[in-house]
A = this chain, B = another copy of it.
Amino acid sequence: MNWEQAWLKYEQDETGTYASFLSSITLKGHSEVLDTAVKELQLAAAAMYGIIPHVNESEKIPHEGIHLVVGDNDMAIGTEGYKIESYGGLITVYGESDVGVLYGVFGVLRLMRSGGIPDGYQGVEIPDNPLRMLNHWDNMDGSIERGYSGESFFFKSGEVIVSERIMDYTRLNASIGINGVVINNVNVAGAAIDLITEKYREPLKTYSDIFRAHGIKLYLSLDYAAPMDIGGLDTCDPLDEQVITWWQRTLDALYSELPDMGGFLIKADSEGRPGPFSYGRTHAEGANMLGKIVAPYGGIILWRCFVYNCTQDWRDTTQDRASASYDHFIPLDGAFDDNVILQIKNGPMDFQVREPVSPLLGAMKATNQVLEFQAAQEYTGQQRHVCYLVPMWKEVLDFRTHCASENDRVRDVVAGRTYAMKHSGIAAVANTGNDSNWTGHDLAAANYYGFGRLIWKTSLTSEEIAEEWVCQTFNREAVDVICNMLMKSWPAYEKYTSPLGIGWMVNPGHHYGPNVDGYEYDMFGTYHRADHLAMGVDRTEAGTGYIDQYFPKNKRMYSSTVTCPESLLLFFHRIPYSYQLSTGKTLIQHIYDAHYEGVETVSEMLEQWTALEGTVEALPYMRVKKRLEHQLDHAGLWRDVVNSYFYRKTLIEDEKGRKLY
């Protein structure tokens, strides 16, 4: 193996605390999932204590060791929940299903290596979200769209790779409760169009087998034009009989060999992809056609709400990209079949460092919804900068949409607590790749781990998740420092990049590094509209009217510069540089100061990390140090470009007399 085990590298525990527990495993019966659980315990026992646990097949309750119990309890913990109890020398893991037990085993191992399992411990864990998914944007040539961790480990040169790495990847997922994986880029092109054909059946069956043994379902992204691209038809109109027949035949064949496929992810009518629109059909008609075909197999259709085919003219200030998804999908509420799910990005724009919550979330009362985050740090430092995203995700999940009087937070909506949804949950664009440490930046693995843990249990704090992760990835001695670094990383990134919710200001195309006007005069609806006196976009009723999409209480909050959260001030309002913020600073001085402060924080982070030399392993130490050095340099560039841009535009001097260019 030339890759690493991330948070599943079970390190030698010289205290021997859990050696006796890991000496014997008792369970009744067999299944592939239970085998996975036992193997994981064996792996941990060998690595931590150099022992091979004795596996007892028995119905009797053992006196010591670890006891895995399926179904034999009267707790309402659902099909994926588990309970852990520790009394005397015995740790018992209960689950209603094999998968629950597997999750419980990962829970036991996590506790052993982070918080500990004291005698008398009792803990029940039930996942908050039914669907807990990763979306990989991997292409079949091995590249990864917005991938910052090397090449794909699923695909290479047009082939599906079956390697040991898939097994470890699957273990990492199962250990944090991921239960669905879309392996190919939602922009389906080239060889990926054929993934649903016989050609790739064998390796996909292998994937499906490995996934199944870990409680995970395989999903594919579909090419909506496949009836034309593969089928040779001259249309992909979802109401065309030939099209329907083609999909029926193709997906029947697929399910006959891959009976537990989870379903399909589709991005249609956006970024140049064809879709139902091309034939005058609604997205509901387009999605339901596929939904009906996969329904008998228990399959689902995830329909992505990122629609921006209607590019803008920057000269037209009445159009607003932020409004597009809501305007488009709200009229379809109730029109989607019950195995069709809308997948909604957390914000109305595109994974910026700061956006308001998408007004779609909570607004659709009769439509299955999955929330989409982006763990891949496209706009948040591309895994060359540290940017711990769990605090951002928590803000989204904790946001009150006011769609209901209670259970109205985003986390309630997507967990299915607000409205009865047949399917709901959370997905993230994955941040993994073939780099030995999985995520390019060692500290970016906290976002992979953190995503899984947070969506399993949305009440976990960002600090708790960070601490768990550091304990398992590095060691207890490094917890305080690394958690501190992680917790200040997103605020720092926000400070030294685009101010107060306005977003963008990146180089076009690759989206890395500062370019204040990079997308300012482009067709993508991403404008700051800064002039000599003011900047920001008026999205109130006097402006683009976007705020109308929120429920009244939020609309009121955003409509006034006084009540609008300052972090989103420039997203919702056009503000003069002389405007006084709550700190007493003017907007322009805030911009200057924040950019200096953000870089200062990175400088602190580099110092903090340097002090960890010897505390963390040499290889990750050096890797992270090198990236932090780049981050400091690059954050300085961000600071100077953004500050100089506004200085040149306003000619307002920095009150503190620092150098502007």
Contact = CB atoms under 8 A, between A and B. Distances in A.
Interface stretch (A156-164, A453-461, A480-488, A638-646): A638-646
A500 B530 CA distance: 25
A533 interface: yes
Nearest to A644: B521
Nearest to A529: B648
A651 B533 CA distance: 9
A648 B648 CA distance: 11
Contact of A509 (B509, B637, B641, B644): B509
A508 B522 CA distance: 13
A28 interface: no
A515 interface: yes
B532 A650 contact: yes
A514 B518 CA distance: 10
A509 B508 CA distance: 9
Nearest to A650: B532
Nearest to A535: B648
Given A517-B516, A517-B517, A645-B517, A531 B314 contact: no
A566 to B, nearest CB: 24
Contact of A314 (B315, B533, B651, B661): B661
Given A315-B661, A515-B518, A521-B514, A532 B641 contact: no
A122 interface: no
A515 B521 contact: yes
A601 B532 CA distance: 31
Interface in A609-661: 637, 640-641, 644-645, 647-651, 661
A278 interface: no
Q: Chain A, interface size: which category? A: 20 to 34
A455 B661 CA distance: 44
Contacts of A507: 508
Chain copies in complex: 2
B315 A531 contact: no
B514 A648 contact: no
A532 B651 contact: yes
Report which residue of A530, A637, A648, A649 has the largest number of chain B beta carbons within 10 angstroms of its beta carbon: A648
Interface in A255-310: none
Nearest to A530: B648
A534 to B, nearest CB: 10
Nearest to A637: B521
Contacts of A314: 661
Contacts of A533: 651
Contacts of A647: 531
A506 to B, nearest CB: 11
A514 B520 CA distance: 11
A173 B87 CA distance: 90
Contact of A515 (B317, B517, B645, B661): B517
A531 B640 contact: no
Contacts of A530: 648
A650 B531 CA distance: 8
A648 B649 CA distance: 8
Contacts of A644: 315, 521
Nearest to A509: B509
Interface in A298-342: 314-315, 317
A645 B507 CA distance: 17
A649 B532 contact: yes
Nearest to A517: B517
A523 to B, nearest CB: 9
Contacts of A641: 521
A51 to B, nearest CB: 49
Contacts of A518: 515, 517-518
A653 to B, nearest CB: 12
Contacts of A661: 314-315, 317
Nearest to A523: B637
Given A640-B315, A641-B521, A661-B315, A648 B516 contact: no
Contacts of A531: 647-649, 651
Contacts of A517: 515-518, 645
Please indicate which of the listed interface residues A315, A317, A509 has the most CB atoms of chain B within 10 Å of its own CB. A315
Contacts of A640: 315, 521
A515 B647 CA distance: 19
Chain B CB within 10 Å — which of A521, A533, A651 has the most? A521
A515 to B, nearest CB: 7
A315 B633 CA distance: 13
Contacts of A648: 529-532, 649
A650 B650 CA distance: 9
Contacts of A516: 517
A1 to B, nearest CB: 31
Nearest to A508: B507
Interface in A483-539: 507-509, 514-518, 521, 529-533
Given A508-B515, A516-B517, A532-B648, 17 more contacts: A315-B661, A317-B661, A507-B508, A509-B509, A514-B521, A518-B518, A521-B640, A521-B641, A521-B644, A521-B645, A529-B648, A530-B648, A531-B647, A531-B648, A531-B649, A531-B651, A533-B651
Interface of A: 314-315, 317, 507-509, 514-518, 521, 529-533, 637, 640-641, 644-645, 647-651, 661
10 contacts: A315-B661, A509-B509, A515-B518, A517-B518, A518-B518, A521-B640, A521-B641, A529-B648, A531-B648, A649-B649
The 5 A-B pairs at the shortest CB distance, nearest first, are namely A531-B648, A521-B641, A517-B517, A532-B651, A315-B661
